[in-house]
Structure formats: C-alpha cells, structure tokens
Structure 1
Amino acid sequence: MDFSADDPAPPSWTREQADGLIAWAERSRQAQGFAWLDDAGRQRTEQGVQTWITSRTTHVSALCSREGGGAAAGLAEHGVRSLRESLRDPEHGGWFSTVAFDGSPADTDKAAYQHAFVLLAASTAASSGTPGADELLGDAAATVLDRFWDADAGLSVESFDRAFTRGEDYRGANSNMHMVEAFLAAGAATGDPAWARRALGIADFLIRGQAAAHGYRLPEHFTARWEVLPEYNRDRPADPFRPYGWTPGHSLEWARLLLHVEAALEEPPEWLLPAAEALFSTAVEAAWARDGADGFCYTLDWDDRPVIHERMHWVATEAVAAAHALHTRTGGAGYAELARTWWTHVRTCFVDGGQNWRHETDARHRPSTTVWSGRPDVYHAYTALAFASGTSIPGYAVLGAGAASEGSANA
C-alpha cells in the first residue's frame, strides 16, 4: 500500500487496516462475549471475558456494520447478546467486571469505567440498528443514571460491590472521561439533549476547573469529595487504569471530546475550543519525544519528567484522532501536518502487518509489556482510522472549518 509523507494514511490503506482489525476482533469471539487476545491472536483464558473489552469490541463492530454489514454485523449482535445475558448481573442489575469462560462470575465489582463502555456499545449498536440494542440501551442508561450518576456533583462515582451497597472512596477522571464519550453517543441514539448537558458538566469540572488550574495537566485521581490526590499510586506508577502522575494521552483524547461536546450543544460555551487546543498543545510539548526518541511518553510527573517512558498505541492513535478533529474544526494546517507525522509514527512502530497493532513498545520501539500485555481490543486503532477516512461515528460530530474563532492556534 502507498506510504508517503504526503499521505501516510491513504483511503486504500485505512480500509485495509479497518478490515484487518475486524478480522482480529473475530478471533476474540467467545461464548460469553469477547476475550483478551495475546500477541499471536490466541484467547487468554486467565483473563476471562471482561465487560470493557466486550463493550468496546461491540462498539467497533457496530460502527463497521453501519458502513457495510457483513461479519461485523454478526459480531455486534453477539456483543449485544453477551451484554444482555452473559455479563449482566441477573440478581442486582448492572454488569460484572469479568466472567470466566464458562460464564461464572469472576469479578463481581461494578465499576463506572465498564458501565460507561456498556452505555457506549449499546448506544452505537442502537444507532446502527443492531437487534436487541434498544433494550440494552434502556437498561444501560437506567443503570448509569440510577447507580453511578451523582446529580449533585454533576459527575460519576467510581465503583461499588456487587449489590451496590458499598461505594469506593475514590473518584477518577478516566471513568468520567469515558462517561462523556458514552453520554454523547447516548444523546445521538436517543435524541435526548440532557445527555450532552451532562457531558458538558463533567468537562466543565475536570477541564475548565481542574486541568486549567494545573496548567492543562489533568489530575486523574480524587477523593470521594473530589479533592485532588497528586501522589496517588506513586508506588504503582504503571497501573494500567490508575497510573501515577498525569497522562498526556488522556489530554489528547479530551481535546477531541471537547469538540464533540461543542458540536452536540445548541449553544456551546466559548471555552471548549480554546481548552481543547490548550490540552492538545500542552500534551504534545510535554510528551512527544520527551526523552529524545519519537513517540509519546506514557506518563509524566508534575514537573513533566517522564515516569513511564513506554509508548502506547492508544496514545498515538488518540493523537492522530485529535489532530484530525482539530483540523476539521479550525482548518489549521499545523494540525494536518501533525496528523501526517503521527500516522507515519504509527505505521512505523505499531502496525503489525495485516494483524492487530502492537499495544506497547519501549522508548526504542521494541515490544514491551510494562503496562499492557497482549492485544486486548481494537477500539483506539479503529477510532483513529475512522477519523482518517471520514467515517461517521454517532456522537462524534465535529464542527467544520469556518466555525472556529479567529486566531486559533495552528491556524
């Protein structure tokens, strides 16, 4: 396939890669949902069937089925059925974090992160006409609002035990970020503008409040009263879901999400675009080649020193997706140039032939397992390809060039 500096992600290549990712996802199909795969594409029994992986694979499959049906439509149906049956708790409601390959509950905690992805999968599948998705969406929306949504705070709580009787004394930006994504998709599926308003409320607190107060370096960890915990997990800096320090990849993801929030609102506040650009520029300046080699350092401390040097495929893909979105929103040529640079980086360091992409490398771009082992799912890679190809994604609308304010960065 063509590979040039002018267009390192041409349409023929993005189509080929999207097809390859769906073929990889087919390997993960298991009776209870979708399994975690190793580097060779084998199902990892010891990981069980996890709700977040099943939900993200269902979301991607439903997106692909909108474009052409085929095998992806069958995968989306399987995912919806698994979320309605195998992974749902029939006694207390909500979704188990993990079930074993035989369907028995393996991790019965109820976490906002997993439930955000159930809502996302249900919303995308409903927008795509997947059988059973409307019922799943109704259940997921009710569970999220009844169990996880703190209307007084305008934010999501973090997790509970199986019976929803004990909550965790912790609040997280990561789960709330994915609630924003899910709320936008739910709004697109239902036509209810309240979902976008909830998404804006989360963004207002975490980005206009917390990130702005910290130089657009978003704190990820908080107490139950939403007090910042800057030293959280200092002794476990490589935790895959709650790493120490700040995570530039999330800033890049948030930059794109703010543009989707803006597009979803009839009268969006003016701070969304400047905040998106500030998050983007801060993350790029602080993390790209910070240690002298191409790639984004995974996490940084509060003085922007690398903590985890490893390069994650999801960070690179969120970078290109954010650059595409900002280019669409502002018309800024600088964003398009960065997207080309980072697509070249992705193709050089992460794309593994016709297979799923490598999830992690070290700073020298050699395979690494410091944070992630194997290749759990195709969600981030497929999202980046969708933005490169102009694929329509429910809830991911971005205003086109011409709507931007004058003087926009990179314009």
Structure 2
Amino acid sequence: MDNVNRGFSSWLRSPGHKAWLAQEGNRLLAFAKASRLPQGFGNLDEQGRLPADAIAETMNTARMTHSFAMAHINGIPGCAELVDHGVAALAGPLRDAEHGGWFAKPLEHSADTGKAAYLHAFVALAASSAVVAQRPGAKALLEQAIQVISQRFWSEEEGAMRESFARDWSQEEAYRGANSNMHSTEAFLALADVTGDARWLDRALRIVERVIHEHAAANNHQVIEHFTLQWQPVPEYNADKPDDGFRPYGTTPGHAFEWARLVLHLEAARQKAKLETPSWLVEDARLLFENACRFGWDVDGAPGIVYTLDWENRPVVRHRLHWTHAEAAAASAALLQRTGEQQYETWYRTFWEFNETLFIDLEQGSWRHELNPQNQPSADIWPGKPDLYHAYQATLLPVLPLAQSLATALEHLQ
C-alpha cells in the first residue's frame, strides 16, 4: 500500500473502502457458518441451507478451516470453534489413517479413494492458518500434511507436484496440472511463514519457473493447464468437457489472475527473506494480468470475465464465475501495491463495481457463484454457494502486505 502513487486517490487507502471490505467479509462469514456438518463442512445451497443429503468434503472443510482461522486471527468472535471443528475433521474422518493422506470425502461416503495434490495443498493451507491461530491439534495436522506432501507429492526432479495416486499411493495418474501446482504454490508460501523453512519458497519458485516462466510465457502469458508426465502440453485435454469445474479445456483467465497475485507474493516473500529473487517475476505478473483482461474481460458483448478461452483466445465457456472476479480484484490490488500504477486502481474499481452489482447477493446472502453469458444467475458449473474462500480472501488481500501469507500477515497486524 505504501507503493501506491500519491498522485491519485486509491481505494486501498480509503477508510471507507476498508470498512466496506471488512463488512462484506463478515457478511460472508456469517453465511458460511451454516455449512457445518458432523464430519466437516458441506456445500450450501442458494439460500444458505445444507441439503438433506449433504456430505462433508475435504476441499470445503479445508477452505472453511483456513477462512475461519483467518477470521479468528482478525478478531472476529464465533470462529474459533469452527476452526477446531475443521481441524478435528481433517485429523479424523477425512484422513486416511491406514495409508496416510486425505480422501475427498469420508471413506464411507465415497467410492473414489484416490489422493489428489489439489486437496492436500488445501489441507496444508488450512493447517498452517490454524497454527497461526494457535488452535489445538493444528501443529500435528500441519506436520502430517508436510510429511505427505514431501514424501508423496513433491517431485524434486521436476520441481513441481505430482498430481494424484490411488489410496495406497500406487497407480500415479499420468497427468501434470497447473491448477494443483498453483494451489501448492499458495500453500508453500504459507508453510514458509509458519515453519520458517525457506525451502518452501525455493519450491514455490521452481513451480512458478516451470508453469509460468517457461510454459505460460511461451504461450503469450496464457496459462497452459494440462500436461503429460513429461510436462508436454495437452492442448485438447477435456475438449469434450470444456466446462469442467477443475480441469476445463483451453485457458482460464481466472487462473491467470490468481497466478499473477501469487507470483507477486512469492517475489515479496523471497525479498523479505533475503533470497535471490528473479527480476522477471513482476513482469510475468504484469503480463498474466494484462492478457487475462485483454482476452477475458468484456469480450463477448457483455461485461464480465469469461470462464475459458480456446487457443485462439476466443471464448469457449462464457459463464462468469464468482471466483474468477474475486481473484481479478485481488490481483489488481496486488499489482497496485507493487507498482503504484493508476491502471491497476482503475481495474480494481472496475472489478469491485461488477462484483457488487452482479455477484454480491444481499437478499439471500453470500455471492452468486455463477452467471450465464447474459449475466443472469445460473448453476450449470457451480450450483449453490459452497465457496467462502475466494470471496473472503478478496476482502482481506487489499489491506494486507504482499510479503506474507494471509494468516501470518493478519497476525502481524494485531
């Protein structure tokens, strides 16, 4: 925030905007509390209710635990018990006590018992935030997560994460994915803060070097999502299922925004730790953001960012997803902090105006998770309102420094 040019007014310095962000964050938290289930946290519907057949899921449980931990650190009452509930669920019914690691759902509720890097990154993030929040059981959970990531998922040879395995760690999936490595980068930044081990910052840099500085940079800074085991791009991956919620076909502007922010966090964290910091990090972040705006925003006759593009940068899935726009706002705030350039202030305001007008649901609560190409509410890709993590982080990131992960940065504000 200190880097914001004093030659123009910025919402990042505005007490009124900071108060609005805090109010919106608290509104999101209040809605999300209803997602609690005996074995973790589940998926809420449009009205904020749990369906009768709701089942706890590791992704939501980890994201909720992380979010409620940040809220507790930030002095929001009523969240400590929810953090403890999440930690207990991740240490209990969602964990594989026999083979180690985490299921996507409790064993008795799922035929798929595979182990995915994406989920394990979120478990590590949740555990690290719970440690910062000084909650019971968090350190043991963090140690388990670090052990599994280090022994099973991290490939020192590749400088990246392996994707997934069968329950007993056999049958490695013949796939490498940018999405799981992106969230692993996020988790590694948090692990570096919580453990004080700079090795996690080196691992994060190696991921960014491969996924962003090698592959995305060679693709006009559009993030290539899908690869073979040898890290060869698979451009037609899921061409027959282009709107997949986790592995869509083509490029995903929302991930470019998310990567841009994480690249800046990595740069700041390495500088703070007095580690060698490549000069290309900020330039890559700029170009990721620039091309996501150019090819994703307002490109099909209506405002908003489309979900996916083909390899000619033509819209494929034209739905607007809430997480994409939350990340766009967060990335513009990060670039504004880093560069002090007014163009990012303009984008920051543009994205929040769009979010407030179309995604924020003041009638039923939380954010609408999805809009169709005409910007009407829809539920084709993401039904209901299960996600607290993206929108809540978007209310916190603009008021925090770049050099620390969110939980640690919040703790240092106190």
Does the pair score TM above 0.5?
Answer: yes
Please name the residue that 2:193 is paired with: 188
One of 223, 237, 244 as aligned partner of 1:232: 237
Q: Which moved more, 1:130-139 or 1:91-100?
A: 91-100
Q: Does structure 2 retain, via aligned residues, the 8 Å contact 1:246–1:300?
A: yes
Please name the residue that 1:308 is paired with: 317
Secondary structure of the corresponding residue to residue 316 of structure 2: strand
Please name the residue that 1:281 is paired with: 290
Please name the residue that 1:358 is paired with: 368
1:341/1:259 Cα in 2 relative to 1: closer, same or farther (>3 Å)? same
Q: Pairwise mapping of residues 280-299 of structure 1 onto structure 2 (< 5 A)?
A: 280-299=289-308
One of 369, 380, 387 as aligned partner of 2:390: 380
C-alpha distance in 2 between matches for 1:288 and 1:104:
40
* Structure 1 portions without partners, runs of 5+: 400-411
* CA deviations over 1:83-127 (Å, ceiling 9, x no partner): 011100111110011127xx6555311101100100110111112
Q: Does 1:10 align with 2:32?
A: no
Q: Does 1:141 align with 2:146?
A: yes
Secondary structure of the corresponding residue to residue 36 of structure 1: coil
C-alpha distance in 2 between matches for 1:391 and 1:272:
17
Q: Which has the higher contact order (CA 8 A, sep 6+)?
A: 2
Q: Pairwise mapping of residues 323-342 of structure 1 onto structure 2 (< 5 A)?
A: 323-342=332-351
1:392/1:202 Cα in 2 relative to 1: closer, same or farther (>3 Å)? closer
Please name the residue that 1:198 is paired with: 203
Deviation at 1:157, TM superposition (A): 0.6
TM-score by length of 1: 0.92
C-alpha distance in 1 between matches for 2:408 and 2:218:
26
C-alpha distance in 2 between matches for 1:6 and 1:178:
29
Deviation at 1:392, TM superposition (A): 8.7
* CA deviations over 1:14-61 (Å, ceiling 9, x no partner): 222111111122100111000011111121355621111110111010
C-alpha distance in 2 between matches for 1:64 and 1:394:
16
C-alpha distance in 2 between matches for 1:369 and 1:393:
36
* CA deviations over 1:337-379 (Å, ceiling 9, x no partner): 1101110000001000161111000122111122111111210
Q: How many residues align?
A: 393
One of 370, 381, 388 as aligned partner of 2:380: 370
Q: Which moved more, 1:193-202 or 1:257-266?
A: 257-266
* Structure 2 portions without partners, runs of 5+: 1-8, 410-414
Q: Does structure 2 retain, via aligned residues, the 8 Å contact 1:111–1:159?
A: yes
Give 2:178's aligned amino acid: A
1:331/1:392 Cα in 2 relative to 1: closer, same or farther (>3 Å)? closer
Q: Does 1:51 align with 2:58?
A: yes
Give 2:370's aligned amino acid: E
Deviation at 1:71, TM superposition (A): 1.0
C-alpha distance in 2 between matches for 1:213 and 1:397:
34
Please name the residue that 1:407 is paired with: none
Q: Does structure 2 retain, via aligned residues, the 8 Å contact 1:110–1:162?
A: yes
Give 1:168's aligned amino acid: E
Q: Does structure 1 retain, via aligned residues, the 8 Å contact 2:178–2:224?
A: yes
TM-score by length of 2: 0.91
